[in-house]
């Protein structure tokens, strides 16, 4: 496998942040939001800038009376023009400042690190961007591999400092760099950094193995979706386990079979994984194999279906297939307000298709990670769709964010999941 390798010297060749800050003045609404601690300053809220900025310049935001409001990372190519690092009072942004933020983030994850061996968890999100005070900067830990994902090129000039801070707060064997789409579009600001580069540590000659709640999973941190694994669903997967005993379980949008491995340990009889991605389903097969030491996992019957989820569900319904549990965890259908209506119809469609293959008394688990759709709206849509086909749901629980995906501001809440029984 060819993996871009970067000598440490490449990092050293990236020019550091400009010594000259940008002074920014904003409209009253933005002043208020920043005072309340909001991490984003939109371009259209800016009234005045002292100069044109480059990605990663520090922007200092002042109020009408010239008082300090916030300092953050400037990105001339994003509608989120400034991502705020520090509110309220000035601070020198550099290695020590990063250490303090990273230590706070690491402390928040202590409950995950302190689990007993049976619930051993070595895969978790260490830094959740703005929600941990480091906007656009995500770090996931998979055992001894850290995956750093940059959602803006504004981090590039600060990379040496923030990575040095990261290494001192939480040492690891390997650092992998991932770049969000918007970041990849700006190669002129990347100085040779590439998506999937290994910044330090040994090359990868296969997947990385880690633990989640005492289960073994593999992840491809270089090519996998997001940073390779949907760590945010850990607690929902754990909830599935005790509900799956004796059931036939259909896992729709299964990816690498996270929910399925838990269902298998919980004693599911048969598991069917549906996903559009063949490589993801191949990893789902292997994730069961990694846990074969557990008798219930070794004996479960497993089937994978590479297909569009809507088509596969329709076909299974027509063929009369029925399951005792149906899990539906699709990708974000809405990324902007304009997509909300279409996304809600898609969620409702999935609820109805899922119910058509769910036996009477079976359990529906349905999640949404669409940011512009709030929890109440999503749950109402699922209930409405179920009522519409005469299967009004009895709720077991609604869940939100796990401890390693804290919600630090309004737009930070994206994950919602319903567990319900259908008549
Ligand atoms: N439940 C998973 C995460 C799901 S992520 C877990 O716990 O790990 C969403 C998945 O949906 C991805 O694997 C993606 O390949 C798949 N996907 C996206 N669109 C799809 C479609 N139309 N039909 C089937 N799968 C789809």
Distance CA 54, CA 319 (A): 58
How far out from the chain centre does Cα 367 lie? 13
Which residue has the CA at smallest separation from atom 20 of ligand 1? 276
The total number of residues written for the chain in this structure: 423
Distance CA 284, CA 113 (A): 25
Ligand 1 pocket test, pick from 331, 367, 405 with the greatest ligand atom count within 8 Å of Cβ, gives: 331
Q: Quick one: which of 251, 252, 254, 256 has its CA closest to 227?
A: 256
With a 6 Å cutoff on the Cβ, whether 351 touches ligand 1 is: no
The DSSP 8-state label assigned to residue 89 in this structure reads S
Question: Among all residues, which ones are annotated catalytic?
Answer: 369
Q: Which atom of ligand 1 sits closest to the CA of residue 311? A: 23
Place of tokens 């559009």: 276
With a 6 Å cutoff on the Cβ, whether 212 touches ligand 1 is: no
With a 6 Å cutoff on the Cβ, whether 231 touches ligand 1 is: no
Quick one: tokens of 172?
Answer: 């690891």
Question: Strand runs (DSSP E) across 143-203, as ranges?
Answer: 145-150, 174-179, 197-200
Quick one: tokens of 89?
Answer: 């009072």
**Dmax over Cα atoms in the chain, in whole Å?**
70
Quick one: tokens of 60?
Answer: 């200092």
Residue 60, helix vs strand vs coil: strand
Quick one: tokens of 196?
Answer: 């999937």
The stretches of 109-249 forming alpha helices (DSSP H) are 110-113, 159-169, 181-184, 234-240
Quick one: tokens of 136?
Answer: 């656009």
pLDDT tens for the chain, residues 1 to 423: 444 445 567 788 899 999 999 999 999 999 999 999 999 999 999 999 999 999 999 999 999 999 999 999 999 999 999 999 999 999 999 999 999 999 999 999 999 999 999 999 999 999 999 999 999 999 999 999 999 999 999 999 999 999 999 999 999 999 999 999 999 999 999 999 999 999 999 999 999 999 999 999 999 999 999 999 999 999 999 999 999 999 999 999 999 999 999 999 999 999 999 999 999 999 999 999 999 999 999 999 999 999 999 999 999 999 999 999 999 999 999 999 999 999 999 999 999 999 999 999 999 999 999 999 999 999 999 999 999 999 999 999 999 999 999 999 999 999 999 999 999
Q: What is the pTM of this model?
A: 0.96
Contacts 24+ apart (CB under 8 A), 69-72: 69/26, 69/31, 69/34, 69/35, 70/34, 70/41, 71/21, 72/39, 72/41, 72/135
Backbone phi, psi, residue 196, to 5°: 90, 5
Q: Which atom of ligand 1 sits closest to the CA of residue 329? A: 1
């Amino acid at each position: 496998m060819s993996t871009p390798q970067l000598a440490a010297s490449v990092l050293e060749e990236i020019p550091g942040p400009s010594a000259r800050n940008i002074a920014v003045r904003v409209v009253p609404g933005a002043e208020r939001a920043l005072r309340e601690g909001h991490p984003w300053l939109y371009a259209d809220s800016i009234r005045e800038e002292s100069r044109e900025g480059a990605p990663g310049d520090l922007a200092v935001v002042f109020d009408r009376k010239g008082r300090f409001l916030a300092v953050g990372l400037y990105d001339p190519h994003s509608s989120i023009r400034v991502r705020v690092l520090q509110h309220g009072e000035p601070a020198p942004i550099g290695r020590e400042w990063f250490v303090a933020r990273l230590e706070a983030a690491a402390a928040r994850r202590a409950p995950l690190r302190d689990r007993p061996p049976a619930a051993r968890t070595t895969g978790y999100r260490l830094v959740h961007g703005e929600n941990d005070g480091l906007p656009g900067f995500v770090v996931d830990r998979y055992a001894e591999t850290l995956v750093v994902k940059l959602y803006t090129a504004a981090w590039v000039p600060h990379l040496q400092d923030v990575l040095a801070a990261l290494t001192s707060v939480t040492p690891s064997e390997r650092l992998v760099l991932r770049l969000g789409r918007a970041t990849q579009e700006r190669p002129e600001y990347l100085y040779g950094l590439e998506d999937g580069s290994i910044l330090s540590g040994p090359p990868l000659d296969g997947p990385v193995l880690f633990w989640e709640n005492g289960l073994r999973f593999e992840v491809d941190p270089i090519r996998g979706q997001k940073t390779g694994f949907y760590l945010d669903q850990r607690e929902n997967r754990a909830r599935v386990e005790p509900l799956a005993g004796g059931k036939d379980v259909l896992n729709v949008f299964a990816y690498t079979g996270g929910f399925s491995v838990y269902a298998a340990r919980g004693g599911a009889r048969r598991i069917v994984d549906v996903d559009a991605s063949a490589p993801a389903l191949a990893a789902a097969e292997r994730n069961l194999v990694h846990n074969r030491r557990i008798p219930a996992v070794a004996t479960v019957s497993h089937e994978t279906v590479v297909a569009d989820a809507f088509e596969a569900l329709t076909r299974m319904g027509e063929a009369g297939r029925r399951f005792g549990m149906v899990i539906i965890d699709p990708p974000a259908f809405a990324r902007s307000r304009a997509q909300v209506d279409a996304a809600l119809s898609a969620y409702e469609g999935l609820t109805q298709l899922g119910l058509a293959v769910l036996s009477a008394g079976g359990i529906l688990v349905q999640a949404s990670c669409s940011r512009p759709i709030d929890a109440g709206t999503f749950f109402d849509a699922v209930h409405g769709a179920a009522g519409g086909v005469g299967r009004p749901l009895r709720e077991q629980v609604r869940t939100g964010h796990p401890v390693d995906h804290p919600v630090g501001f309004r737009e930070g809440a994206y994950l919602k999941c319903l567990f319900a029984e259908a008549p």
